[in-house]
Amino acid sequence: MVDLLNLPRMIMPAAFTELLAEALGELTPPPDATDDRVAVSVSGPGGGEWHIGVTDGVFDITEGATDSPLVSISLAVSDWREFVAGRVRDVASEHADTSLFDPRALTKLQGSGERAERIRGFAGDIQCIVEDKEEDAEYTATFTLGGGTPNLAAPTTTIRVDLAYLGRLVSGEENVQNAFFAGKIRIDGDMNLAMGLMTAVM
């Protein structure tokens, strides 16, 4: 498997996409894989748009936009870099031998017909904010469901989680529902959208 855990700090999205495409090429889609796409939009200098899916029985990444993706992921270049090669990557990897952009996790979104059907039942924007108290910073990614245009300014739901706690969630040391009831995850807006999606993808 391509090493996505030790990327250089200043890697650009296009270079990362090439590595991700190589990693996806090592995976075999399940028999019930759908033709749904997962779109990723990275804004700012060096950013771009890509979409991931299954074509002719293999996972692929295509540059550019796509119509009505199953899920759209939107984030700025600066936040994207913290997730894949910076603070979020570093803290999460202390707890789990995996990347937040592990291709196996990405392919779960559209790699199963049953799971994709459940995800299609949701619509709206879920904005996830990772709070880095040590650096006095926040890193944001927005997930748009239902094929609509991402609304980054007024998301349907906002989820906040402390970076120090995120690694425990990624590793499985803690589960999302317990973290929510313990106050480690804070949800504003449509709570049913967030909790329903978590249930659908797990």
Please check whether residue 64 is in contact with residue 52, taking contact to mean a CB–CB distance below 8 angstroms.
no
One digit per residue, the tens of pLDDT, for the chain of length 202 reads: 678 878 899 999 999 999 999 988 888 888 888 888 999 999 999 999 999 988 888 889 999 999 999 999 999 999 999 999 999 988 888 876 655 556 666 666 655 677 888 888 899 999 999 999 999 999 999 999 998 899 999 999 999 999 988 878 877 788 877 888 888 889 999 988 887 777 666 5
- How far, in Å, are 22, 35, 149, 197, 199 from residue 119 at the CA level? 26, 14, 17, 7, 10
pTM, rounded to two decimals = 0.91
How far, in Å, CA of 166 to CA of 138, rounded? 13
Residue 113: per-residue pLDDT: 76
Q: Residue 100 carries which side chain, given as an amino acid letter? A: L
d(CA 80, CA 88): 10
Two tokens at 172? 């499985």
Rounded Cα distance, 102 and 106, in Å:
7
Residue 109: how many CB atoms within 10 A of its CB?
23
DSSP 119: H
Long-range (24+ apart) CB contacts under 8 A made by 50-59 are 50/17, 52/20, 52/24, 52/106, 52/107, 52/110, 53/110, 54/29, 54/110, 54/111, 57/29, 58/25, 58/29, 59/24, 59/25, 59/27, 59/29, 59/103, 59/107
pLDDT digits (tens, 9 = 90+) for 164-192: 888 788 777 888 778 888 888 899 999 88
